[in-house]
């Protein structure tokens, strides 16, 4: 059974940093592009970042480029999102999601339950 689970969210001040983790199981982790998708309170879904199976290629939305860094550790079936210079508008539930088709722009067939990041002073 495929499972994806995020952790690491919390309350942080503007300008602060946070590191999200996503642990996956039930599939050959290194075969898949893994992604982060966020949802601000009461709002829609926004793709944030993705990383190819070998970790060699990363993708970012313009809104987070230069502030968020995605990485993965295939030996631990985990993907991470290092968040720096956080802004109030980064407040959202962050979901880890598996890319289904192996593309930079993809659809997402398995999602975690999400972890809340709140940026506030």
Partner 1 sequence: DIQMTQSPSSVSASIGDRVTITCRASQPISSWLAWYQQKPGKAPRLLIYATSTLQTGVPSRFSGSGSGTEFTLSISSLQPEDFATYYCQQANYFPPLFGGGTKVEIK
- Out of 23, 61, 116, 118, the residue judged to bind partner 1 by CB under 8 A: 61
* 116 makes contact with partner 1 (CB under 8 A): no
End-to-end, the C-alpha distance of the chain in Å comes to 40
Q: Which is nearer to partner 1, 15 or 64 (CB)?
A: 64
- Out of 59, 68, 77, 83, the residue judged to bind partner 1 by CB under 8 A: 59
What is the pattern of x (binds partner 1, CB under 8 A) and - over residues 73-112?
A: ----------------------x----xx-xxxxxxx-xx
- Beta carbon of residue 24, minimum distance to partner 1 (angstroms, whole number): 14
Using CB under 8 A as the binding rule, the residues of this chain from 13 to 42 that contact partner 1 are 37
Q: Which is nearer to partner 1, 29 or 60 (CB)?
A: 60
Count how many residues are written for the chain.
121
Q: How far is CA 120 from CA 45, 101, 109, 117, in A?
A: 21, 37, 32, 10
* 2 makes contact with partner 1 (CB under 8 A): no
Q: Give the separation between CA 89 and CA 108, rounded to whole angstroms.
A: 24
- Beta carbon of residue 75, minimum distance to partner 1 (angstroms, whole number): 26
């Amino acid at each position: 059974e495929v499972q994806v689970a995020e952790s690491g969210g919390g309350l942080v001040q503007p300008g602060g940093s946070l590191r999200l983790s996503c642990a996956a199981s039930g599939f050959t982790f290194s075969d898949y592009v893994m992604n982060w998708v966020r949802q601000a309170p009461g709002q829609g879904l926004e793709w944030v970042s993705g990383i190819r199976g070998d970790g060699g290629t990363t993708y970012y939305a313009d809104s987070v480029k230069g502030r968020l860094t995605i990485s993965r550790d295939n030996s631990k079936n985990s993907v991470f999102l290092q968040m720096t210079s956080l802004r109030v508008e980064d407040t959202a539930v962050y979901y880890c999601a598996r890319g289904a088709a192996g593309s930079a722009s993809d659809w997402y067939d398995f999602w975690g339950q999400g972890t809340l990041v709140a940026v506030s002073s």
